[in-house]
A = this chain, B = another copy of it.
Amino acid sequence: MNDSNIVWHDHHVSKSERSEQKNQKACVLWFTGLSGSGKSTIANALESKLYEMGKHTYLLDGDNVRHGLNKDLGFSDQDRIENIRRIGEVSKLFVEAGLITVTAFISPFRSDRKIVRDLVESGEFIEVFIDTPLEICEQRDPKGLYQKARKGEIPTFTGISSPYEHPVSPDIHIQTAHHSVEESVSSIIEYLSQKGYLDASTH
């Protein structure tokens, strides 16, 4: 029955309501670092730990973005910028959804990371530098990419034929040569806890 006398209050569920419902403060933990630096490993371990703690998270990485949303993009400079732009915009949506969002992409350029930082509100962007020396990354070479890059089979490869601009003042600095995955996760959790992200009531 169409009763036009009913006044429907046009309520939108707010970002803070979505965060509070999950007893946390939404943010994006933006991991940056060389290929093979350990971004995905630490990001997955962090997510598992946060899940155990009852926190609501989501991880954006090459696995779920490259073959889906960004499958139309290649590796030209323009496409790499567009790749990060879209990931930034999607991260913003996940933050609005109230989730602790983790992203694991090389994201080598300061300007691109700044674009994402500026997309979200102050305090919502947490830059996590996964700092592993190039020699170690190349030694690990989990996907055999460095070997290919050295042979010239990958024309632009970060750290070899394309620059990696390390963060000047990352919010969290993880040196994997000196810390295990477990220690790295603990230090990120401690940061989140101290800054009040793991409890909706703290400010």
Report A10 CB to chain B, min CB distance, Å.
6
Q: Complex Cα distance A51/B96, Å?
A: 14
Partner of A69, one of B44, B89, B177, B180: B89
Say whether B179 contacts A1, CB under 8 Å: yes
Say whether B1 contacts A183, CB under 8 Å: yes
Q: Complex Cα distance A97/B8, Å?
A: 30
- Residues of chain A from 47 to 66 with CB closer than 8 A to chain B in the complex: 47-48, 51, 54, 56-60, 64-65
- Asked whether A122 is an interface residue with its Cβ less than 8 Å from the other chain, the reply is no
As for how many copies of this chain the complex holds, the number is: 2
- Asked whether A194 is an interface residue with its Cβ less than 8 Å from the other chain, the reply is no
Say whether A13 contacts B69, CB under 8 Å: no
Name A's B-contacting residues (CB within 8 A).
1-3, 6, 8, 10-13, 17-18, 21-22, 41, 44-45, 47-48, 51, 54, 56-60, 64-65, 68-69, 72, 82, 86, 89-90, 92-94, 96-99, 119, 176-183
